[in-house]
């Protein structure tokens, strides 16, 4: 199914942004969610890297609208953005995203 209102620009740019959000759980606990990653990224591999990098737990949620959403325990919004835009070979390397394709939401 394709979006009738989407601009067809080919595969040069992602058609949608990657959204990094924070959700309040209870008390001081928060969740960081990453959604809108294109299909070429493996959410499992990213989740594993995030969990190792930030020493937190996380999971992948199947959302009917957004597809696969990565959830991390704690507030890691800026760190996740730095990770996704990092061209270092230990991080994203040649798959790094541009900063203007990422939107951070919350507080």
Tell me if 35 is assigned to some domain: yes
CATH for 61: 3.30.780.10
Tell me if 88 is assigned to some domain: no
Assign 96 a pLDDT band (cuts: 50, 70, 90): confident
If one counts the domains in the chain, the total is 1
CA–CA dist 104, 83 (Å, integer)? 13
Mean local confidence (pLDDT), 64-90: 87
Tell me if 23 is assigned to some domain: yes
Tell me if 1 is assigned to some domain: no
The model's pTM = 0.76
What is the domain extent for residue 32?
A: 18-76
Tell me if 60 is assigned to some domain: yes
The residue that leads in pLDDT, 93 or 64, is 64
Residues 6+ apart with CB under 8 A from 33: 19, 20, 21, 22, 23, 61, 69, 70, 71, 72
**Cβ neighbours around 71 below 10 Å, total:** 17
Mean local confidence (pLDDT), 8-21: 64
Q: Which of 34, 54, 55, 31 is nearest to 44 (CA)?
A: 34
């Amino acid at each position: 199914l394709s979006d009738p209102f989407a601009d067809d620009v080919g595969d040069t740019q992602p058609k949608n942004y990657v959204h990094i959000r924070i959700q309040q759980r209870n008390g001081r606990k928060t969740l960081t969610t990453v959604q809108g990653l294109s299909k070429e990224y493996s959410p499992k591999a990213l989740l594993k890297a995030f969990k190792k990098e930030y020493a937190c737990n996380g999971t992948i949620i199947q959302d009917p609208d957004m597809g696969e959403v990565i959830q991390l325990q704690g507030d890691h919004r800026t760190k996740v953005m730095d990770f996704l835009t990092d061209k270092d070979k230990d991080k994203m390397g040649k798959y790094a995203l541009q900063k203007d394709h990422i939107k951070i939401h919350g507080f």
